Amino acid sequence: MRSLSRRSLLQAALAAAAMSAAGTVLTVKRTDPGASSGKALASVKTRADGTFSFTDAPSVEGDAKYTVSYAGDATRLAGSGSHTVTVSRAATTLSLNNNGKVYSYGADVKFTAHLGTTYKNRTVEIWANPYGGDKPNKLLKTGTVDSSGNISATVDMTRDTDVTAVFKGDARYAPRTVKSTGYAKVKVSTAVTKNYKKAAIGSHSYYWFHKSTSPVVTTTMTYYPGRKQRLELEVYYNGKWYATDGSPQYFALGSNGKSAVSLGAPGESGIKARVRAAYINNSSGDNVNSNTYSDWKYLYFSN
């Protein structure tokens, strides 16, 4: 047994000398999963040396057995021979866009699958499996591809999501599945309170505090069970920004997605500082979103 493509050329020879006469008519039958009782093919004739050949295109995958028979005549006995080949379905192409791209939280992203050549089945399924065990794999769309071989479905990117396109195959083309992973940021923002005014220093707008006042920074972030925000605090010295001792730190979010942190009062005037919050994949307690940073908020401590 040997593996051949669907349009393989089966060549056989009968060794019997009685069949060596040119033009001897032989009957051919194929037995396969699509024709278990056998399908008669066109008869063939032997060449002068007793050999013959024919071409066939099985329509299903699996073992195809070819039986060649001679009916016999007044001077020659009947006879037959067989040969089996394994017919493999052809591979088609299937692709899905947007793999590895990162999107803002809640973005509506169109994922498009492209299906190559097939026999009869032109149907593709598109599935979405968001990260996290609480949301199962969901069928977004199933349908026939358009004249260009495309079909699309829209994903609401609130989490990192595995999107899968599935072609289930047909009689001549094998099934195919491809995956594309899209990544989603979280929503994150910070609010600063306890300042007595806002005013620009250079190119930045600063929250102004008395040196004895402790700023309160409230982070609002997309909630997920067990999630923590990372708060970064830096001070300005000799023309550069430096992280303060203990920065960054992680703080748990409440079920409302909020976390309020008091930074402490420096007790000195003339200090410039800046603060921002971030979600860090895995380090923030889960892996269902992609790294996201809020804007820096600038603080100044006066007398």
| Residue 12's CATH number | 2.60.40
Q: Is 203 left (phi over 0), alpha (psi -120 to 50) or beta?
A: alpha
Report CA torsion sign: 97, 99, 101, 102.
positive
Amino acid at 298: Y
Last residue of a domain, one of 152, 184, 216: 184
One domain for residues 175 and 194 = no
Residue 47 buriedness (CB in 10 A; 0-12 / 13-18 / 19+): middle
Query: Which pLDDT tens digit goes with each residue over 80-111?
Result: 999 999 888 889 999 999 999 999 999 999 99
Query: Final residue of a domain: which of 167, 184, 201?
Result: 184
| Domains in the chain, number | 3
How crowded is the C-beta side of 195, counted as CA atoms within 13 Å? 16
Chain centre distance of CA 49 = 57
To the nearest whole number, what is the mean pLDDT of the chain? 92
CATH number reported for the structural domain that contains residue 175 in this entry: 2.60.40.730
Which amino acid is present at 72?
A: G
24 and 43 assigned to the same domain: yes
Q: Residue 260: is its pLDDT beyond 80?
A: yes
**Above 50 in pLDDT, residue 70?**
yes
Is residue 180 domain-shared with residue 109, that is, in the same domain? yes
Tell whether 171 and 99 lie within a shared domain. yes
β-pair type (271-279, 216-221): unpaired
Q: Say how far apart CA 165 and CA 142 lie, in whole Å.
A: 10
Query: Are 35 and 62 contained in the same domain?
Result: yes
Q: Can you give the pTM of this predicted structure? A: 0.78
Distance of CA 195 to the CA centre of its chain: 48
Q: Which domain holds residue 259?
A: 188-302
Structural contact between residues 173 and 179, judged by C-beta atoms closer than 8 angstroms? no
pLDDT at residue 74, rounded to an integer:
85
Read off the tokens for 171: 């009689």
Q: What percent of the chain has pLDDT over 90?
A: 80
Claim to verify: residue 180 and residue 212 sit in the same structural domain = no
85 with 1: CB under 8 angstroms?
A: yes
Residue 282: its H or E element? none
Side-chain-side CA neighbours of residue 172 (13 Å): 12
pLDDT of amino acid 139: 98
For residues 265-287, average pLDDT = 98
Domain boundary among 150, 168, 184: 184
Amino acid identity for residue 37 in this structure: S
